[in-house]
Each structure stands twice: as structure tokens, then as C-alpha cells.
Structure 1
């Protein structure tokens, strides 16, 4: 995550008409996401200000004592950066970002911006600002990021394209399922203790990933 090549990243890109001021975006994101709290005053997303640390082979969240929003929301600088960004250059920039590790000691999320994007699908060729939200999967899954950006920041209601049909089970079927679970559980636990293998990728050496 913090060295060599980043694995399990999530990317969300957005195109904004005209110029987007970086300071305005930083302040808005701080208020809408980083400092967002529950009614009891507890932070809803403390991991946005925390980094991942290792202790006895296990990973934990730890507060970034030097947290600054400027370290996470910034203009893109790197290969392919020119005065004007075109459609042909965007894939190369996205490729470079996908390989870039997250800064050590910081929460694994960033918003990269670049101005003066000229997109072929815009007949008027007006300058636009492109924003790429980038985070590690340990911070949230795809739905969590979508909910953060749509509901918490854009203040829009997020609706799912479908709902799961859990069905209805009879009382007899529920009792039978529960009884079967009680009978199988001890044997399953014994089998797991003998033949289990830790597939957790966090414990695999970096060179073997």
C-alpha cells in the first residue's frame, strides 16, 4: 500500500465545468466528510484522519498526528502533466496514479485535480477540472465510497438498482437449520483448527503478493 505498487485501490473520477478552486474543495471536503459527526458528537469517518500501523503482525488504525487536508487534496504533478490535458492523456495519467503508492504515515486516500482539461465530447471545448478520488480498499468498499460521495457530500439520495429478496422460511425449516448448525459446528471447528491456512493477504510477505 505504502511502498512499490498499490494494491486494491478504488478510483472515482469526476469532471467539473470551468475551474474548481482547490481551497474551496478542501474546505468543503473537511466539513462534509472528514469532520462529519454523529448526533452524539462522534466522528463518522475517523479513518480519514488515521493511518494503518502494524503491531505484532496485525494491522490497526492509528491517528495521523500531522494530518493536513493539503496532503490529501492537491493538484496532479507527474508524467503526462501539461498545460492542457486531453482525452488521449487522461488514460496515461490514470495509469500512473494506479501504480503510485500512498504516502507513508497518512490515511490512504487522495483527491487529485488537474485543470484545463479539453475533452473531445465537448463541442465548445471549454476548460474543465478533473477530480480523481483515490483510496485503498481498507478504508471502504465501493458502496461505502459511493455513499460518501453521493449522500454525504453531494447531498443526493442514493438508490440501489435492485433489492434482495430474502424470502420467507417456515418455522420448521428455521428450527431444522438451527439444529443442524448446532450439530455441525463442533466438527467444523475441529476441521478448521487442523487444516486451516491463513489466506489473509496482510500477512503474506510483500515479495510474494
Structure 2
């Protein structure tokens, strides 16, 4: 029944979507005459994240930080970032990253990029001056800073990104090394985790992120034709099957109107990669399976500790990277759902089940079908796409990205 419904709805969506794409093309040309202050339309994949009220109630802020040994020359960094990235040009002499000077702007029902009225790097690269500033910031206070920045609205008519410095940070190690925190905050509508990883690790710290990119299995022409044919047979069923299965019922899966903010934040101590790799190798599972199994076990233990009934299974939305990420500020990923075997008490059995679930997700056509669907949703006006961009299915959302070897920024060790 679900597959039949999918085949009925898909042509309807396509027929309905064609006039919208035509209208987008028309207003994209009209803005050159009527609104020369506007740049291009926000692309469809970024629109699903940029559609929210980012100046009042942002839900898609990303906060990343590097612990820096010593104190960074922030004035020099501001100048270097402006020259090397904000003003970087492509082969045609156009700005490679114009979004650093632009913000989302709604016109004729759609989102465009609009240039800042007056762009000032000092507004985007500065010392942290928020509610939790102190002469020396310890771990607990820094957590509050991250929590504040995660939900802090952006200034209207300003591009939603910033680098912040916390000058004196005490990590509690007692090693006598002076440390500071280097924070990058960006709204998800500008770019995704893989762009951020490339910016911070490869571009700024000079460490290749080749190992962090999704690998593509080489196939010949006939294999591609056969798999393409198979995709359109499998995708509808597996897509609907994934969505139906992901509808969780448990005491932690609250209706949206009962979810309060600001949400909380917690951090573990750093976990050594060698330890994770040893588990991976001993049980012949993937690195991601170890991570997800650990998260599942942690949730299970907490539910038991709080006296909450543990369901047989729980689902999480996961960010699935897609090969071919453009070298720009872009979102190039999709969300899929995966089952967390929270009802299994034995950690080894839970790990093995997690590996099976992860393999099934990688083999499924559902993530690719979701990737193909996003431009159809993202082409809609924000008010129309919003109901379809809210996760009402799974209890969790988990995102993990491969790290890099030891990083050095301007010759100084960071972590």
C-alpha cells in the first residue's frame, strides 16, 4: 500500500513542482531589474535549513571549537581570513565565497542572498563578549558559552557566521600550558559539516581531509545502467519502509509543543581513537557502528537510571554524506533514519546488531531517494516547505564526522 501511495504522490509532486521551478526562474531574472541589491536564489538544498527565523529562533546553528595552546593573534587572523577566504576569487574573477558577505532575504515568497549593507570583518571575527565571559573560563563556564551560542539568534541583515576567541581557558588539566578557545559559529543554511571540516582542518590547519570524504565504488557503464534501473524499483518501497519504521513511540519522544528550550549540553572527556579502533578490529565492525552502539548504550543506561521504560528499539536521524561535495559554501548531504538497538542489554550483541543496521542503511536506496527528493521540497516557498522539514519521527538526531591527525594552526597545536 505504501509503495502504491508513493507512486501516486510522486507524479503529483512532480507536476506541481514544475510550475514552481518555472516561477523561481522568472523571479530570479526579475530581481536583476527590480532588486539589484539581491544576488542569486538560495539553492534548494540549503533552503530547507535557511527557511527558519534565524534572527529570532534559530534551530540550525553549528558551533565548533578548537582548543588552542597559547593566544592566537586574532587581529592577524582577521586580516588573513578576509584576504584568503572572504575575498578569494575563482578562475572567472568572481568571489568564490560571496555568502560570507550575504544573508538570507525573502522576496516574492522565496529566499535570495542579499549583500550586507556595510560589511565589517570586526563584526564577524572578534573576542567573545556574551553572557558568560570571565577573566578565566573553566570547562563548566565554557559549556554554558557553547549552549548560549547554539541557540543565540543572529543579527538581522548580517551574514550568519562568526569566529570568536575565548582568551584564557582552563581545561583543568593542570599542565601549566596557557590555552584559549577558538570558536567557529555558523548557521547550517550556509554550509554543512564537510565544508566546515575542510575549512578548519585542511584550509586553515593544512591537514588533508581525503580520508574524511565518502568513498565512491568505481563501476562500469553497464553496472551503472543496471543499478539505476534497480534503484527505481527498490527506492519507493525502501524509502516508505524507512519512514514508517522510524516513527518512534517512547517516553522520550515528546511532541514538538512539549519540547522546551534552550536545550541542554554535555561533553565527555576525549575518547582515544585507538581504543575505538581496537573495538572495531576485535569485533570486525565499522568505526561508525562502534560510535552508534556506544551512544545507544549510553541512552539505555540513562533511561534505566531515570526509571524510564526502555523500548525495544529507538531510531535516530543521521546525516549521510554524499560524494561530489562542491568546493563552495554548500549543503551536500541528506538525512536518513537508522534503528538503535536500545532494547539489547548485552553490549557485544548490541554492537553486532548496530553493524547489521548500518550495513543495511548503506545498501538501501532510501538515502539516495531522499537526496533526490530534497530539491523538490527546497524549491518551495519557505512557508510551504516548513511542515515537511520537521522531524516528527525519530527520537534522536546523531551526526559524526571523521577527524584528522593532530592539528597545528599557525604552528601552534590545537585540539
Shorter-chain TM-score range: 0.7 to 0.9
Q: 1:103 and 1:171, CA in 2 relative to 1: closer, same or farther beyond 3 A? A: closer
The answer to whether the 8 A contact 2:63-2:146 is kept is no
The answer to whether the 8 A contact 1:87-1:119 is kept is yes
Q: Which of 118, 121, 133 does residue 184 from structure 2 map onto? A: 133
Q: 1:154 and 1:56, CA in 2 relative to 1: closer, same or farther beyond 3 A? A: same
Where 1:129 maps in the other structure, the secondary structure is strand
Deviates more, 1:13-22 or 1:162-171: 162-171
How much does 1:168 deviate?
A: 4.3
Q: Which of 126, 137, 146 does residue 94 from structure 1 map onto? A: 146
How much does 1:87 deviate?
A: 1.2
Higher relative contact order (CA 8 A, sep 6+): 1
1:47 aligns with 2:99: yes
Corresponding residue for 2:55?
Answer: 3
Q: Which of 126, 129, 147 does residue 77 from structure 1 map onto? A: 129
The separation in 1 between residues aligned to 2:171 and 2:78, in whole angstroms, is: 25
Corresponding residue for 2:195?
Answer: 144
Deviates more, 1:159-168 or 1:143-152: 159-168
Corresponding residue for 1:156?
Answer: 207
Q: CA RMSD in A?
A: 3.1
Q: 1:171 and 1:153, CA in 2 relative to 1: closer, same or farther beyond 3 A? A: closer
TM-score normalised over the length of structure 1 = 0.78
The separation in 2 between residues aligned to 1:89 and 1:175, in whole angstroms, is: 52
The separation in 1 between residues aligned to 2:196 and 2:221, in whole angstroms, is: 34
Q: Which of 145, 169, 192 does residue 117 from structure 1 map onto? A: 169
The answer to whether the 8 A contact 2:110-2:381 is kept is no
The answer to whether the 8 A contact 1:11-1:133 is kept is yes
The answer to whether the 8 A contact 1:115-1:127 is kept is no
Question: Residue by residue, what CA displacement relative to the aligned partner does 1:136-184 show, whole Å, maximum 9, x if unpaired?
Answer: 1111111112112233333332213451325446379549839x89xxx
Gaps of 5+ in 1: 182-196
Where 1:160 maps in the other structure, the secondary structure is helix
Aligned length in residues: 191
TM-score normalised over the length of structure 2 = 0.42
Q: Which of 61, 64, 83 does residue 31 from structure 1 map onto? A: 83
Q: 1:128 and 1:204, CA in 2 relative to 1: closer, same or farther beyond 3 A? A: farther
The answer to whether the 8 A contact 2:62-2:150 is kept is no
How much does 1:32 deviate?
A: 2.1
The answer to whether the 8 A contact 1:85-1:116 is kept is yes
1:12 aligns with 2:64: yes
Deviates more, 1:38-47 or 1:157-166: 157-166
Structure ranking higher in helix proportion: 2
Q: 1:114 and 1:201, CA in 2 relative to 1: closer, same or farther beyond 3 A? A: farther
Where 2:210 maps in the other structure, the secondary structure is coil
How much does 1:50 deviate?
A: 0.8
How much does 1:118 deviate?
A: 1.0
The separation in 2 between residues aligned to 1:156 and 1:43, in whole angstroms, is: 24
The separation in 2 between residues aligned to 1:48 and 1:202, in whole angstroms, is: 22
Where 1:139 maps in the other structure, the secondary structure is coil
